[in-house]
Structure 1
Amino acid sequence: MNPPNDPRTAADDDAALRALYGRAQAQISAGTTARLHRARHAATTGSTASPARRSWAWPAAAGFAALFALAIGMQSLAPPAPPTATPAPVLAEADGAAALDDGVADALATYEESPDFYLWLAANESTLLAME
Structure 2
Amino acid sequence: MFTDFIVLSSFTHQIDCFCPCCYEDEVIMFKTGDQLILKDEHRHIPELGTYILVEVNNEKEYFISLADLESYYLQERICSFMDISLKENYLKYKIDEALKVRNEDNFRTYVQQYKQIQQLQQRLQEKKVSRIHF
For this structure pair, what is the TM-score category when the shorter chain's length is used for normalisation? under 0.3
Report which of the two has the higher share of helix. 1
TM-score by length of 2: 0.22
